[in-house]
Amino acid sequence: MVLDIMVSLSLLLNLVMLILLLTGNLAKNVQDFIAHQMTALEKGQERLEKTLREEMALTREESFKAHKMLRDEVTNNFNALSARIVTDLGHQAKTQQTQLENLRDLLRNTLTHMSDAEKERFENFAREALQLSNQQDKYLRSQLQEMATQQKNQLDSFMKQLSELTQMNATKLEQVRETVETQLVTLQKDNSEKLEQMRATVDEKLHQTLEQRLGESFKLVSERLEQVQKGLGEMQSLASGVGDLKKVLSNVKTRGTLGEIQLDNLLEQILTPEQYEQKVAVKKGSLERVDFAIRLPGKEDIHDTVFLPIDAKFPLEDYQRLVEAEESGDLALAMESAKMLENRIKAEAKSIQEKYINPPHTTDFALMFLPIEGLFAEVLRRPGLWEMLQREYRVVVTGPTTITALLNSLQMGFRTLAIQKRSSEVWKLLGAVKTEFGKFGDILEKTQKKLQEASNTIDTAAARSRTIARKLRNVEAVPLGEAASLLESVDVGLPD
């Protein structure tokens, strides 16, 4: 039974290993599984050896208990038999003694009343009876001795058989143990050989798989390295571009140009080229030129032009200093940077007021364009700054979104003004159309009369045609070709 279990376990292990090899699991999983199965097999052998030892110990213990119970039973039976024999002998001895005493009393009474001859005869009888009693006692003793000797011989024979049986069981158990150990060693050796073969096969498969995976991995790594190298090249180009952008933004003149370009794009998208100008001198005798100016019509004469100045400003250093202070969490530095930015915006607004606001050639206010929404939002965050710039400097601060809305509003105003300028022409055109429409009514009435006369003439001709047809009903018709030739050759004398 044990050998069948071990063989089944070995076959199951081989089957599991074969399935794992056929399914092509990863190397580490296969090695872990082999190690786990070898550990499980060793533990199974240990458990089997422990079970065999326990079964052998249990068998020896049960055999010892059975022998002990058998010895105790034989001893108890022998003691019970001896006690019963002794009891029976005691009862017989007491019975014989009682009988002898009764006989003695009877003989004594009889001898008292008997004669000498009878006494002699009775004494002879008594001696014979005593001799018979001694013989009987001797016979009983010899029988008891023989029975005791026989039981002792039987007990010795039984003990000898029991000893032989115990020795035989021990010999068989030793043979079983040796056989099991031999089978275990053989099975372990067989399993070791099979595991070694499996390990060699698995190592070969793992080597092939590892080479294949390594080749694929190296190929993938090479491709990724090429991509990384390409990305590094792009990053270097980007870093170069960022450096160029940083250089551009670090130059005040270039930053101003950047703001002007963004403002120019917005104006170009929303307004027409005739509606704004670039680099306009709004003050006579001044060399200062505003970045852009929107052409607005005058109040008295729509042909006069009033400029709306728009100047782009980009205080990047102050704004960047404020952003860095807020990101670092330095409240004092953030407040100081915000104050510096506010002063910078005020200074730029004052400069725009002094340079570009010149009524009536310009509007009484100007626009300051900030090209970054964050910068514009920071200006709006300062309490009262936006209103103060409008009130004191007549400068309206705008960002990309707000100036787009403002330009769209101006574009709608321009369209309204164009409609207003064309309204008089439209009225004149409508008057001319009305006059011509009156003439067209007269002509239409005359045409209606002519059409009525033509209709009457056609009705008269139709009536005459029907009359002629009735007159010619009895005239024989000629073929069509002949009729045409006859009509061409005959002048019927009809008036033209």
Taken in order 358, 361, 364, 368, the sign of the CA dihedral is negative
For the cut 70, the answer to whether the pLDDT of residue 488 exceeds it is no
| pLDDT, tens only, 363-386 | 888 999 988 888 888 888 888 888
d(CA 411, CA 405) in angstroms, rounded, equals 10
Structural domain includes residue 235: no
Whether 186 and 106 map to the same domain: the answer is yes
| pLDDT, tens only, 410-466 | 888 778 777 776 766 767 777 777 777 677 677 777 777 877 887 788 878 777 777
pLDDT band of residue 37 (cuts 50, 70, 90) is low
Identify the residue with better confidence: 355 or 489. Answer: 355
Question: Which among 345, 380, 409 is the end of a domain?
Answer: 409
d(CA 148, CA 78) in angstroms, rounded, equals 10
Average pLDDT value over all residues in the chain: 75
pLDDT band of residue 114 (cuts 50, 70, 90) is low
For the cut 80, the answer to whether the pLDDT of residue 49 exceeds it is no
Structural domain includes residue 234: no
For the cut 50, the answer to whether the pLDDT of residue 251 exceeds it is no
Whether 161 and 12 map to the same domain: the answer is yes
Whether 210 and 266 map to the same domain: the answer is no
Q: Scan for tokens 């952003």, then name that residue.
A: 323
Is the model's pTM score more than 0.75? no
Whether 291 and 184 map to the same domain: the answer is no
Angle among Cα 411, 413, 415 to the nearest 5 degrees reads 70
Whether 156 and 292 map to the same domain: the answer is no
In terms of average pLDDT, the best of 1-5, 46-50, 359-363, 447-451 is 359-363
Structural domain includes residue 484: no
Identify the residue with better confidence: 425 or 29. Answer: 425
Whether 303 and 400 map to the same domain: the answer is yes
Question: Which among 379, 409, 439 is the end of a domain?
Answer: 409
Identify the residue with better confidence: 225 or 239. Answer: 225
User: How far lies 275's CA from each of 146, 272, 306, 397, 411, in Å?
Assistant: 157, 5, 11, 21, 9
d(CA 374, CA 322) in angstroms, rounded, equals 11
Whether 208 and 324 map to the same domain: the answer is no
User: How far lies 130's CA from each of 91, 115, 133, 141, 465, in Å?
Assistant: 19, 21, 5, 16, 202
> Contact 169/63 with Cβ under 8 angstroms?
yes
Structural domain includes residue 118: yes
Q: Scan for tokens 């034989």, then name that residue.
A: 74
> Contact 292/310 with Cβ under 8 angstroms?
yes
The token pair that represents 257 in the structure block: 């140009």
End-to-end CA distance of the chain: 143
pLDDT, average across residues 93-113: 69
Q: What is the pLDDT of residue 412?
A: 84
Q: What is the pLDDT of residue 15?
A: 52
Q: What is the pLDDT of residue 35?
A: 65
Structural domain includes residue 88: yes
> Contact 266/256 with Cβ under 8 angstroms?
no
Task: List the domain range (segments joined by +) for residue 349.
Answer: 260-409
Taken in order 477, 478, 479, 481, the sign of the CA dihedral is negative
**Dihedrals phi, psi of 251, to nearest 5 degrees:** -95, 125
d(CA 307, CA 309) in angstroms, rounded, equals 6
Whether 206 and 84 map to the same domain: the answer is yes
Structural domain includes residue 247: no
Structural domain includes residue 250: no
Q: Which residues pair with 272 in a beta bridge?
A: none
For the cut 60, the answer to whether the pLDDT of residue 42 exceeds it is yes
Whether 129 and 194 map to the same domain: the answer is yes
Identify the residue with better confidence: 238 or 186. Answer: 186
The token pair that represents 449 in the structure block: 């009369």
Whether 47 and 185 map to the same domain: the answer is yes
Say which range, 18-27, 49-58, 196-205, 215-224, has the weakest mean pLDDT: 18-27
Q: What is the pLDDT of residue 274?
A: 86
User: How far lies 129's CA from each of 114, 123, 125, 133, 136, in Å?
Assistant: 19, 9, 6, 6, 10
Say which range, 13-17, 167-171, 474-478, has the weakest mean pLDDT: 13-17
Structural domain includes residue 244: no
Question: Which among 356, 385, 409 is the end of a domain?
Answer: 409
pLDDT, average across residues 383-399: 89
> Contact 366/396 with Cβ under 8 angstroms?
yes
| pLDDT, tens only, 275-323 | 888 888 888 877 888 888 888 876 655 456 888 898 888 887 888 888 8
pLDDT band of residue 22 (cuts 50, 70, 90) is very low
Indicate the number of domains in the chain: 2
d(CA 88, CA 101) in angstroms, rounded, equals 20
Q: Scan for tokens 């006579």, then name that residue.
A: 284
Q: What percent of the chain lies above the pLDDT cut of 90?
A: 1
| pLDDT, tens only, 163-207 | 788 788 778 888 887 888 888 888 878 877 888 888 888 778 878
Whether 288 and 343 map to the same domain: the answer is yes
pLDDT band of residue 245 (cuts 50, 70, 90) is very low
Whether 29 and 155 map to the same domain: the answer is yes
